Structure 1
């Protein structure tokens, strides 16, 4: 449902944004010379999309790239190519031949070729940090533009005065949506020590109600399996390491019995400061809970991860909320909410989470180039 509804809204927004672009006003900035800003297409944009939202992540790229006047060569994830191929089939009679192209294959082969190809003017990727590094290295030879939306490890900072019930209810979705295979997931809770026990109890109560099952088993199913055996094994390895390091599973903590790559929705408590499970992206239905004593400690630890995609702060003090939001190193910071997106607002990260903006009019800027034309009008 997210994939379809979000994709529709992405195209509708970009269709309107392309008709209402803004730029510096034309004017006489130098005597007797009229300056005009022109936004031009870049040309051919190579795109590499991930498997977690295969249609939506493609739409986030396709809509602004086309709206800015470019052509596209898109490589979907080898694990989820079918929605992209179906999309190409559906729009085949809407676009001129050659405007939208899909090439399937593996990242190290097809993705690498797109990055390196001298006739590709820009490469845009949504994926892992390692994939981002590979794409940036490949693009370096031709000095092409690079747009990277990479991983995340979103801290959720809960202060003593927060609405704990609201925070727990929000994380029921924000921490576990799409089986936690979500780069903005609220997966790393930092909660003030005075309310940690109560918050953990509320979170466990919320997460325990999640319905896990085969996606076609009924409308009540909320969490399905992980994407692949390899990813399933990776998430389970993270859980084993975390518990070996001293973390305790207040809920879940391992695989679910039966066929399929199902991991139980997990809440890890008593997590030691600096544990790998708090710093590395697990990308599964796992939320860790740590405690802090002071505001300064909370901010420092929230910012210690190499990622900077998203974060949230929970407090009923508006001044504290504003201040903390300004100090968290993330491209999106929610206050008393988490994982709410709007096509009108940009989405992208700082630090190892990449650069370039998806969604919003900022994406149109990313996929076009600015030309200054100056006319001598002296007579």
Structure 2
């Protein structure tokens, strides 16, 4: 008996997303394998040729049209983010707003940053006209995280598109709906370049397929361990790789700081989004004379917060169920090692929620001080002075963000310059995240490369250097026909000039 066409069609593998708060199913999405990812990359490469050929002003207009569509659908995007991550809708709305700021900046500044630029030549190359230009790479692969499923990957997606590239985006398997909606809004806003941004869905195998698909650069956000795995795949084809791998960010609080303001910022930086922020506050070093007062202020402010899935909750559940066990291990281990619980403790861990935990006097070798907790936990340790605070802050294997609270902005900036962090805020936390012109990224186990700002735009281009000979040089050094006497005169002239200061 012959089968009907419908019966003969192959089954498409799917996976289901679930609410972090209730566990209820949200939606089903296809598991895109190597063939689907390869087709998406090939299509993106075809569309990218036309996109790159456009004048920069036209690309700007298209991206601003997409930004307008995102702004128009802000509520729908925020609802999707909130549903998939469990964060309050208000937090999700802020994520969309910051994304719009960055997309607008990238669209409006790409032409200025990446335009053809003349450069000066030297004494022996005065006959050359020299210039450089930043050209798009082609197709950029982006593997995004679940904690900020729109804002974080758009630091690569928006800037890569503004630089003239196409993008294939693999969102986290926990938040695929956000990525699908993002690409759909692009196609609707810029239908003449549909396929320039494609979302592929799935878990680790889909990310592996993207790394092997022939993209011209891969931007990754996730853990250092996963980054090493993906980077090893990219190394096989020498595919350029950008990694943002989280942090263990420290705050330095001086004796003359505004402690109320510092406490307010620390609580928000440590607990917002359930502490699931790569550049969130996890360690605080306060000089000894104000340590007790700061601890009291932080614990008091954190105690007033309410956790849950209600509209007025300060933050929601842990998005990744497995992270709850890590939080519990860090808190339990710190207390067993002699730390004091100023607020909360092991009883705070009630999956999928973790109520605020404020610790003090945590041993520096405890996991709560050395590993990324990625939960609503903050440790506040006393130090003798700023020098000790800087030393301890820099001792981490992470180097992503940091903050300094100090009465003098100038002194705060001087302390910031001593911190080994890719971004530092003085008298605020995460201030740099809302400034599109500032690059963002870290070093050590926090990864490498930069997104945002001019560096973020240039990071998705290749630089081409060009020289054009304007006239025959009086001393041609790039020829076998140069007389020995001429070469000797050139050497004597260079020696004389370069001996001068």
TM over 0.5: yes
State the partner residue of 1:273: 364
Matches within 5 A, 1:79-228: 79-93=174-188, 94-95=190-191, 96-107=193-204, 109-117=205-213, 119-214=214-309, 217-218=310-311, 220-228=312-320
- The farther-off stretch of 83-92 and 95-104 is 95-104
SS of 2:150 mapped into structure 1 = helix
- The farther-off stretch of 71-80 and 320-329 is 320-329
Q: Deviations over 1:63-82 (max 9, x none)?
A: 00101111111110011111
Q: Which runs of 5+ in 2 are unaligned?
A: 1-92, 473-501
CA contact 2:140–2:216 (8 Å) conserved in 1: yes
2:424 is the alignment partner of 1:333: yes
Give the deviation of 1:287 after TM superposition.
0.3
SS of 2:359 mapped into structure 1 = strand
- The farther-off stretch of 67-76 and 26-35 is 26-35
Give the deviation of 1:114 after TM superposition.
2.2
Counterpart selection for 1:299 from 377, 387, 390: 390
CA contact 2:288–2:385 (8 Å) conserved in 1: no
Give the Cα–Cα distance (whole angstroms) in 1 for the partners of residues 405 and 430 of structure 2.
13
2:155 is the alignment partner of 1:60: yes
Give the Cα–Cα distance (whole angstroms) in 1 for the partners of residues 169 and 409 of structure 2.
43
Q: Deviations over 1:341-377 (max 9, x none)?
A: 2112111112211111111121100000110111112
Counterpart selection for 1:344 from 405, 413, 437: 437
Q: Which runs of 5+ in 1 are unaligned?
A: none
Distance 1:199 1:145, change over 3 A: same
Give the Cα–Cα distance (whole angstroms) in 2 for the partners of residues 122 and 229 of structure 1.
31
Give the Cα–Cα distance (whole angstroms) in 1 for the partners of residues 133 and 445 of structure 2.
32
State the partner residue of 1:356: 449
State the partner residue of 2:167: 72
2:91 is the alignment partner of 1:4: no
Give the deviation of 1:323 after TM superposition.
2.3
Distance 1:172 1:321, change over 3 A: same
Instruction: Please give the TM-score of this superposition, normalised by the length of structure 2.
Output: 0.72
Instruction: Please give the TM-score of this superposition, normalised by the length of structure 1.
Output: 0.94
CA contact 1:68–1:367 (8 Å) conserved in 2: yes
State the partner residue of 2:4: none
Relative to its length, the structure with more helix (as a share) is 2
Q: How many residues are paired up?
A: 373
Give the deviation of 1:162 after TM superposition.
1.3
- Mark the structure with the bigger radius of gyration: 2
